Chain A
Amino acid sequence: MKQRSRFSYTMKALFSRPLVVAAAIIVLLFLLAAIFAPFLSPYDPYETDITGALKGPTAAHILGTDKLGRDIATRLMYGARTSLLIGFASVMISALIGVLIGLVCGFYGGIVNEILSRVVDALMSIPNIMLAMALSMMFSSGTIVGLMIVLGLATVPTYARIMAAEVMRIRDSDFMVAEKVLGMSSARKIFSHLLPNCISPILVVLTANIGTTILCESSLNFLGLGVAAPTASWGGMVNEAYMMMMLTPAYALAPGLCIMLLVLGFNILGDGLRDAIDPRLRGTL
């Protein structure tokens, strides 16, 4: 009962701000476009038509056609599918692994935490995109699942660090001492008591990280290290298009605007969530 009322309070605080509502609507629209792409567009995203290639916007093709004659607006919707799938899945993968590592390290502290902190420092010194690029060689990418794993693993250190810090913060609080007195097992202490108390900061990071993961994903796709050719991705579209910008500027501009809007949506949602959970921070970021 207590948990539920707190949840509804947070949701109310979250959606009381017009900016957050707008961000939620943006994200929702992209989600709907991604899910219902086959119904929203009469075109096949993979069917090529060389004779109709690189046409500017017309009534039939509102954003024109790409270099193989495919409808750009349709490709954008399927690109949203790629980005959202990868964004959600890789954040889940990294949060799951990172939270577990962080929990164990924060709980045991001492030498375990010291070792982990240095490993995390080492991994975080490698820029995310480079780590993802290196990992993409191993998990023979080119598939959406491959990219999910690559981007998921590349962000594990971030979660591990936040989680470890969070656990250390509450490890010495009175209720943890009480549990020690009660003789609870470590597993029960960690999963039934520490985890629920650390979940809100992780949730905030998770939301905002969907955005940064999508940014990273689009960079990889732009470089040709992401999903393989026929699959639509926003980064890949910019890459195909930028050499022909004099002919069809919309081809390169539209995917970039989509990336910006979607990432902005997730960032504002993340910020809003943080403010709703910790009202002291409201308006300072």
Chain B
Amino acid sequence: MGRYICKRLLQAILVIFLISVFSYFLMYLVPGDPVYAVLGSDITREQYMEQFYLMELDKPIIIRYVHWLTRFLTGDFGTSYRYSVPVSELLAQRLPITMYLGIISLVISVILGVLCGTICGTNRGKAADNILTVLANLGSVVPGFWLAVVGMYIFSMNLGWLPSYGFAFPWEGAGVAASLKQTIMPVVCLSVGSIAGLTRQMRSGMLEVIRQDYIRTARSKGLKESTVVVHHAMKNAIIPVVTIIGLSLRNIVSGAVTIETVFSITGMGSLLVNSILARDLPVIQACILIIAGMVAISNLVVDICYGYLDPRIRIQ
């Protein structure tokens, strides 16, 4: 197990390094002069040269990358072109909001996905299975932004139950009830896709497991059906589900991009959209590196859990 963890850890470090290389070099492939991108095109020759040397554009890109990475590792993510404040400050405001909504969505997705998948798998072909399978199929094709728009139309515009924009933490001024109301719709929109994906995965896992010999043995021992399902079937069916939790996190973060835009939530997703529209390179670099890094780390954790749950994986 120790060797397996070491190997995966090394791989994860390499992956994060590659992400940093990618997000840095990508930005230098963007057409346009980076100096003009910072200062605008209405500048004097002296201003141009000053900025040119400040950004080390006279040095090779490898050296610039090394300097950027060293600064990044010490927490200096550069200064936003658009807001003219340190990127780290922007992220400190935005990242917690996306994390908060994302983690709630992930927890809900995993619980509901496993539950629905188990119901489907144990009631194959019955009404519950059919209904849930249809819903799971629909849930995996509905565009998050459209779901958000429809939810806003029904619950904000027509019924007036939920606010149509904004977000505040429960511990902030507006209070717990107001925050909860603002959280419901974004969280639902963020989780629908993942719930659907996890349900499908869990269902197929259950169907695979339920016909194994050890399930028949457990039943023939006279165990209660609930014991068979929970202790024997679910335990094994859940293993492949664990591997796609990393994928679910990725989907939830993707969803945040559009859903935060619809609900005017000032999180990381809407920050990224606005930065891309404004060509705000330092912010884009930091956003991509942090989000991809989080996904890579969650994949590492998932893989270690997987190795723990399924000893066969460790040896491969």
Query: Is A238 touching B145 in the complex (CB atoms < 8 A)?
Result: yes
When distances are taken between beta carbons in the complex, the residues of chain B under 8 Å from A128 are 250, 254
Determine if A134 is an interface residue (Cβ-Cβ < 8 Å).
yes
CA A215 to CA B295, docked complex, whole Å: 21
Query: Is A122 touching B273 in the complex (CB atoms < 8 A)?
Result: no
CA A134 to CA B284, docked complex, whole Å: 8
Q: Of B26, B146, B204, B251, which one neighbours A256 at CB under 8 angstroms?
A: B146
Determine if B22 is an interface residue (Cβ-Cβ < 8 Å).
yes
CA A233 to CA B142, docked complex, whole Å: 16
Query: Is A127 touching B254 in the complex (CB atoms < 8 A)?
Result: yes
Determine if A118 is an interface residue (Cβ-Cβ < 8 Å).
yes
When distances are taken between beta carbons in the complex, the residues of chain A under 8 Å from B258 are 129, 219, 222-223
CA A249 to CA B143, docked complex, whole Å: 17
Which of the segments A57-65, A100-108, A135-143, A192-200 contacts the partner chain?
A135-143
Determine if B101 is an interface residue (Cβ-Cβ < 8 Å).
no
Q: Of B29, B149, B204, B292, which one neighbours A126 at CB under 8 angstroms?
A: B292
The minimal Cβ–Cβ distance linking A21 to chain B, given in whole angstroms, is: 16
CB contact list, B1-37 vs A, under 8 A: 11, 14-16, 18-19, 22-23, 26, 29-31
The minimal Cβ–Cβ distance linking B203 to chain A, given in whole angstroms, is: 8
Query: Is A215 touching B292 in the complex (CB atoms < 8 A)?
Result: no
Q: Secondary structure at chain A's binding surface: helix, strand, loop or mixed? A: helix
The minimal Cβ–Cβ distance linking B50 to chain A, given in whole angstroms, is: 26
When distances are taken between beta carbons in the complex, the residues of chain B under 8 Å from A127 are 250-251, 253-254, 257, 291-292, 295
Determine if A144 is an interface residue (Cβ-Cβ < 8 Å).
no
When distances are taken between beta carbons in the complex, the residues of chain A under 8 Å from B153 are 242, 245, 249, 252
Interface string of A101-131 (1 = CB under 8 A from B): 0000000000000000011011101111110
Query: Is A133 touching B141 in the complex (CB atoms < 8 A)?
Result: no
CA A155 to CA B23, docked complex, whole Å: 17
Q: Of A122, A260, A268, which one neighbours B19 at CB under 8 angstroms?
A: A122
With known contacts A125-B299, A222-B258, A134–B292 Cβ distance under 8 A: no
CA A134 to CA B30, docked complex, whole Å: 9
Query: Is A260 touching B254 in the complex (CB atoms < 8 A)?
Result: no
Interface size counted on chain B using CB atoms at 8 A: 53
CA A246 to CA B149, docked complex, whole Å: 12
Q: Of A121, A130, A253, which one neighbours B11 at CB under 8 angstroms?
A: A121
Determine if B302 is an interface residue (Cβ-Cβ < 8 Å).
no
Determine if A263 is an interface residue (Cβ-Cβ < 8 Å).
yes
> Closest chain B residue to A259 by CB distance?
B143
Query: Is A219 touching B30 in the complex (CB atoms < 8 A)?
Result: no
When distances are taken between beta carbons in the complex, the residues of chain A under 8 Å from B284 are 134, 137
The minimal Cβ–Cβ distance linking A127 to chain B, given in whole angstroms, is: 4
The minimal Cβ–Cβ distance linking B232 to chain A, given in whole angstroms, is: 19
When distances are taken between beta carbons in the complex, the residues of chain B under 8 Å from A245 are 149, 152-153, 157
Determine if A56 is an interface residue (Cβ-Cβ < 8 Å).
no
Determine if B207 is an interface residue (Cβ-Cβ < 8 Å).
yes
When distances are taken between beta carbons in the complex, the residues of chain A under 8 Å from B11 are 118, 121
CB contact list, A204-262 vs B, under 8 A: 211, 215, 218-219, 222-225, 235, 238, 242, 245-246, 249, 252-253, 255-256, 259-260
CA A129 to CA B153, docked complex, whole Å: 25
The minimal Cβ–Cβ distance linking A24 to chain B, given in whole angstroms, is: 16
> Closest chain B residue to A285 by CB distance?
B204
Q: Of A126, A218, A284, which one neighbours B288 at CB under 8 angstroms?
A: A126
Interface string of B265-295 (1 = CB under 8 A from A): 0000000110011010000100110011101
Q: Of A123, A130, A246, which one neighbours B257 at CB under 8 angstroms?
A: A130
With known contacts A129-B254, A225-B277, A118–B14 Cβ distance under 8 A: yes
Determine if B122 is an interface residue (Cβ-Cβ < 8 Å).
no
CA A223 to CA B152, docked complex, whole Å: 17
Query: Is B254 touching A130 in the complex (CB atoms < 8 A)?
Result: yes
CA A223 to CA B143, docked complex, whole Å: 13
Determine if B296 is an interface residue (Cβ-Cβ < 8 Å).
yes
Query: Is A129 touching B257 in the complex (CB atoms < 8 A)?
Result: yes
Query: Is A136 touching B157 in the complex (CB atoms < 8 A)?
Result: no
When distances are taken between beta carbons in the complex, the residues of chain B under 8 Å from A256 are 142-143, 146, 149-150
Query: Is B18 touching A122 in the complex (CB atoms < 8 A)?
Result: yes
When distances are taken between beta carbons in the complex, the residues of chain A under 8 Å from B186 are none
The minimal Cβ–Cβ distance linking A280 to chain B, given in whole angstroms, is: 10
Determine if A92 is an interface residue (Cβ-Cβ < 8 Å).
no
Q: Of B145, B208, B250, B296, which one neighbours A235 at CB under 8 angstroms?
A: B145
The minimal Cβ–Cβ distance linking B152 to chain A, given in whole angstroms, is: 7
When distances are taken between beta carbons in the complex, the residues of chain B under 8 Å from A123 are 22
Determine if B144 is an interface residue (Cβ-Cβ < 8 Å).
yes
Determine if A82 is an interface residue (Cβ-Cβ < 8 Å).
no
Q: Of A224, A235, A252, A263, which one neighbours B277 at CB under 8 angstroms?
A: A224
When distances are taken between beta carbons in the complex, the residues of chain A under 8 Å from B19 are 122, 125-126
Determine if A165 is an interface residue (Cβ-Cβ < 8 Å).
no
CA A252 to CA B157, docked complex, whole Å: 14
Determine if A94 is an interface residue (Cβ-Cβ < 8 Å).
no
The minimal Cβ–Cβ distance linking B214 to chain A, given in whole angstroms, is: 19
CB contact list, B121-169 vs A, under 8 A: 137-138, 140-146, 149-150, 152-153, 157
CB contact list, A150-190 vs B, under 8 A: none
> Closest chain A residue to B200 by CB distance?
A285
11 extra A-B contacts, CB within 8 A, seeds A138-B31, A215-B141: A119-B18, A125-B19, A127-B291, A127-B295, A130-B253, A134-B276, A242-B153, A246-B157, A252-B149, A256-B142, A256-B146
